[in-house]
Amino acid sequence: IAGITQAPTSQILAAGRRMTLRCTQDMRHNAMYWYRQDLGLGLRLIHYSNTAGTTGKGEVPDGYSVSRANTDDFPLTLASAVPSQTSVYFCASSRLADGTGELFFGEGSRLTVL
């Protein structure tokens, strides 16, 4: 089934540990995004990539890093997790490199940092 695959679906992590959330899309979309969703705050953009080899910072980038080595994969890394990074993380993609048009979302990764 075409779309966006995120892994893991859910994870409990000790503070200070390193964690990478994986995201893969098979729609050959140019742009990809990572959002976090917290109650009362909605979806907030962490990092984005308009094409392979380029990345940019969103609204809440601190504590997170991304890479875009190819079109399909866009992993999000927490170098040293803290409890405030407990959230649901959504990966998304859009077809055009300029970011216009509909965003398609993955099913989310629920992360708990203790």
Partner 1 sequence: GQNIDQPTEMTATEGAIVQINCTYQTSGFNGLFWYQQHAGEAPTVRSYNVLDGLEEKGRFSSFLSRSKGYSYLLLKELQMKDSASYLCAVQSGGYNKLIFGAGTRLAVHP
Binding site for partner 1 (CB under 8 A): 31, 33, 35, 40-45, 48, 50, 56, 58-59, 90, 98-100, 102-103, 105-108
Q: How far is the CB of 59 from partner 1 (least distance, A)?
A: 8
Q: How far is the CB of 103 from partner 1 (least distance, A)?
A: 6
- What is 81-106 written as a DSSP string? --GGG-EEEEEEEESSTT--S--EE-
Q: Phi and psi (nearest 5°) for 60?
A: -130, 65
Q: How far is the CB of 15 from partner 1 (least distance, A)?
A: 25
- Nearest to residue 50, comparing CAs of 33, 72, 27? 33
Residue placing its CB nearer to partner 1 in the complex, 17 or 57: 57
